[in-house]
Chain A
C-alpha cells in the first residue's frame, strides 16, 4: 500500500492506482474530460492537471501512477489557473456557442467543467474556422464544430467495440476525427453500436432521435435489460412523458458494461409498426373492435369444449421475447391442462436443440466475462459480426490484447479479416470438422473426417496446436448447423470442450429461448386444419412461415402488440403490451436470471400477456401457479440457472 496526501487528506492506495483514482477514493474531485471509467486513461485533455510536491511541472492525474508518500494539491492557484487555461484553449479551438447546442444546460461535460471553474467568459475568442457536419449516418450526427478531440469515441470504438472505425488524422489544430480513411460515417465500417454517441462529452456526436428531446433532468431513466437477443445486456431506457427518447447501455451492467449493438440501441427507436389498441373479433368476415369481456368470452367459449378432451384440438405457440412468467402460465394452460401436444415457442427449439442435459454435467459453461479472460477463442455455428453482436465486440476487442481468435464459418464474415486464423469449412461439415479436431487432439486418425470439411491438414494442425498451447481456451458456439445432425454437432462440441478442458459459451436465439427450452417449449410447430391456433406473439414480428402454418387453422387467436399479416387473418386479436410496457424475468444465454422493468405505460385498452393468461385460466377454471423459478430449476433440459 502507498501512503498519499491529497489536499491534506491522507489515504492508502494499492500500488498502480492513478492519482485521479486515488483522489476519487479520498473524496477529492478532480475535473476530467477525456477520462472515462470504461476506458483506459489517456491524458489527452490536460484538465486533470495537479500539483505534485517535488515535481517540476503540473502532472495529469489520470495517467500518473501514485507513488509512496506523494503529496498532491488539486486546488492551488497554479492548478486552477491551468484548468481555466486548458478550457480557454478548448473553447477557442472550434464553435462552442452554447445557446444552439443540444447538450447545453447540464448535459455537456465541457460546459459543466467551465461552470465548475466559474468561468464567465472566454479569455480567448474562437478563430472562426469552419468545420463540417457529417450527417451521413442513419442514426447519429457528427458535428466537428463541437468536437474537443478528447478521443473518447475513438477509444470506445477500439477498446470497447474492437471496431477501429474512428480515428484521428493530422496534427495540432488541424487534428480531425475521421471514420476509416476519411470517408463519411454513413459509408464507413461503422457497425452502428452507438457507444461513441453515448460516451461523447460534448454535442459533437448526437443521436438523431433523442436530440433536443430533453435534458437528463427532464427525462426518466429505467434501469432494465434488453430483450433483443439471449445476452441480456443491461440498458437504461430514457423516457419522457411516457414516450421513448433513447436507449443507453448501462455502464454498471455486469454482462455488457455499457456496450450495446444496433439491435439494442437503435432498432427499437425505428419501430414503425402500427400498435393494436383495442381487442378485435372477426364478425361477418371482418375484424371489428370489441370489449375485453366480449373478446375473452369468445375465446373461452371456443376453448372450453376442448378442455380435457385430449384430442389435441389446440396448437399453441408463444414468443421467446416474453418473460418467463408468461411462458410458464402458457405452458401450464395449454400443455398441462389442455393436454395439447403442440405447445411450443416461436423458435421451436432451433437454438437449444442438442443442448439437452449437457449443461448440468459439466462446469465449463461460461458467462460473457470469459471472453476477456481467454487467450484463445474459437467460434463455430455463429457469426458474431451479425448475431449477439455485443459478444462479437468483446471477441474483437480481445484480439488487440493478444487473444487468438479462430472463427470457423461456412461463409466469409467481417470477423475473418481481423484474425489470421479464420477457417472456412464446407457447409454441413461441422460435425466432421469438430470430430476431426477432437481426434487430432486425442492423437487419433482424423484425415478421413477432415477431408469432408474441405479444411487442409495444415490448417487443422495449426488450430490443434493453438488449442494445445492455450492456457485458457474458449469455444463460442451457436446453432447455425445443418438441421439433420445439429444435436450431434452440439454434443461433439461439448465433448471437444470436455476432453480438452476448454470453456464454452453457447448463444441461444432470443431473450428467453433458454427459458422456453427449460419449460419444454421447443418442439416444431405444426397446425392441423381443424385446430384452434393460439398465438401469443407479444411484440414479435411473425415470420412468413408462421403465417403459412396458421393460415388454415379453424380458428386463430392472437396476442399481439402490433398489426401484422397474422393479426389480419386472426379471428380474435388481443392487444398486448410490448417489451417496454411489461415486466418479468428472462434467463440469459449463460443462465443468469434477470428482471426486466416497466419503462412505459401501455395505452388504456392494452393488457399484458400474463394478465390475459391469468384471466383465461380463471374463466376456464384452470388451476395455475406462479412458481416459474421452481419449474425452471427442476427442468432437466439444460445448464445451470443462477437465480437473481
Chain B
C-alpha cells in the first residue's frame, strides 16, 4: 500500500498550528515515514495535487474570498478534511472582529491604528480578496475531524497524523482534547 498523501494549508490564523506541527521534533521523521506530505505552506508545493490527496489539513478560519477558495479547493481535492486549531474549528482569535462591522474593522486596521503614520486608506484593488466575516471551516465546507487547541499540542497533532496514516479515525478526548 502506498503512503497516504497529506496536504496542508493555512488561512486566517497565526501559523501557530503549523509551528506546533514542527514542535513534535524528531517525531516529524516518523510522520514522514508514514505519510507522503505533498503540499503545505512550509514546503515548496503550495496547492494540493490536482489528482487529490487522502488527508487535507486546514489551519485558520475563513475571513475573505481567497480563504473561501482555499477551503473549497482543499475540500474538493481531499478525501478526509481536518480542521486544525481553534481558528479552523471555532473562528478563534480572528473571529473577535465579528463583534464589529467589517467597515469598523477595516477602518481600525488601515486608518486608525497607532502605527499608521500617513493618512491611511482602505485598499480597494480589485485583485485583492474581499474581506468577509470570520467563519469556522465547517461553516464553509464539511469537515471530517475537528482538532481544537490554540494551538493543538504537538503530541495531539502527532497522534492525529499517526492514526490517520494508519487508517484509523483519531478519538480526541481526555488529555488530547483542549480548546485553548
Hey, which bits of chain A sit against chain B, CB under 8 A?
A: 95, 97-101, 104-105, 111, 114-115, 118, 120-122, 125-126, 128, 130
**Selected A-B contacts with CB under 8 Å, 11 pairs:** A97-B86, A97-B92, A97-B95, A99-B86, A100-B96, A104-B180, A105-B180, A111-B180, A114-B179, A120-B148, A125-B90
User: How far apart are the CA atoms of A121 and B179 in the complex, in Å?
Assistant: 9
Nearest chain-B residue to A115 (Cβ)? B177
- Interface pair A97/B96, CB less than 8 Å apart: yes
Please tell me which stretch of B36-44, B105-113, B119-127, B135-143 contacts chain A, meaning at least 4 of its Cβ atoms lie within 8 angstroms of it.
Answer: B135-143
Asked whether any CB of chain A lies closer than 8 Å to the CB of B34, the reply is no
- Interface pair A120/B96, CB less than 8 Å apart: no
- Interface pair B99/A95, CB less than 8 Å apart: yes
Count chain B CB atoms within 10 A of each CB in A98, A101, A118, A126 and give the residue with the most: A98
Nearest chain B CB to A362 CB, angstrom units: 59
Which residues of chain B are near A104, meaning CB under 8 Å? 179-180
* Given A121-B83, A121-B146, A128-B99: A99 in contact with B180 (beta carbons within 8 A): yes
Count chain B CB atoms within 10 A of each CB in A98, A100, A101, A121 and give the residue with the most: A121
User: How far apart are the CA atoms of A115 and B172 in the complex, in Å?
Assistant: 10
**Contact residues of B between 124 and 172, Cβ < 8 Å to A:** 133, 135-136, 138-139, 143, 145-148, 150, 172
- Interface pair A125/B177, CB less than 8 Å apart: no
Question: What does DSSP make chain A's interface, helix, strand, loop or mixed?
Answer: loop
A-B interface pairs (CB < 8 A), number: 63
Nearest chain-B residue to A145 (Cβ)? B99
Which residues of chain A are near B173, meaning CB under 8 Å? 115, 118
Asked whether any CB of chain A lies closer than 8 Å to the CB of B89, the reply is yes
User: How far apart are the CA atoms of A167 and B180 in the complex, in Å?
Assistant: 31
Nearest chain-A residue to B145 (Cβ)? A120
Which residues of chain B are near A118, meaning CB under 8 Å? 172-173, 177
Nearest chain A CB to B130 CB, angstrom units: 19
Which residues of chain A are near B143, meaning CB under 8 Å? 121
- Interface pair A125/B86, CB less than 8 Å apart: no
- Interface pair A122/B99, CB less than 8 Å apart: no
Nearest chain A CB to B157 CB, angstrom units: 14
- Interface pair B89/A120, CB less than 8 Å apart: yes
Which residues of chain A are near B145, meaning CB under 8 Å? 120
Contact of A97 (CB < 8 Å), options: B91, B138, B172, B178: B91
User: How far apart are the CA atoms of A174 and B143 in the complex, in Å?
Assistant: 32
- Interface pair A99/B135, CB less than 8 Å apart: no
Asked whether any CB of chain A lies closer than 8 Å to the CB of B116, the reply is no
- Interface pair B177/A100, CB less than 8 Å apart: no
* Given A105-B178, A125-B135, A128-B98: A98 in contact with B86 (beta carbons within 8 A): yes
User: How far apart are the CA atoms of A454 and B173 in the complex, in Å?
Assistant: 71
* Given A105-B180, A115-B177: A121 in contact with B91 (beta carbons within 8 A): no
Count chain A CB atoms within 10 A of each CB in B90, B91, B95, B136 and give the residue with the most: B90
* Given A97-B95, A97-B96: A122 in contact with B90 (beta carbons within 8 A): yes
Which residues of chain B are near A128, meaning CB under 8 Å? 98-99, 133
Contact of A125 (CB < 8 Å), options: B100, B136, B146: B136
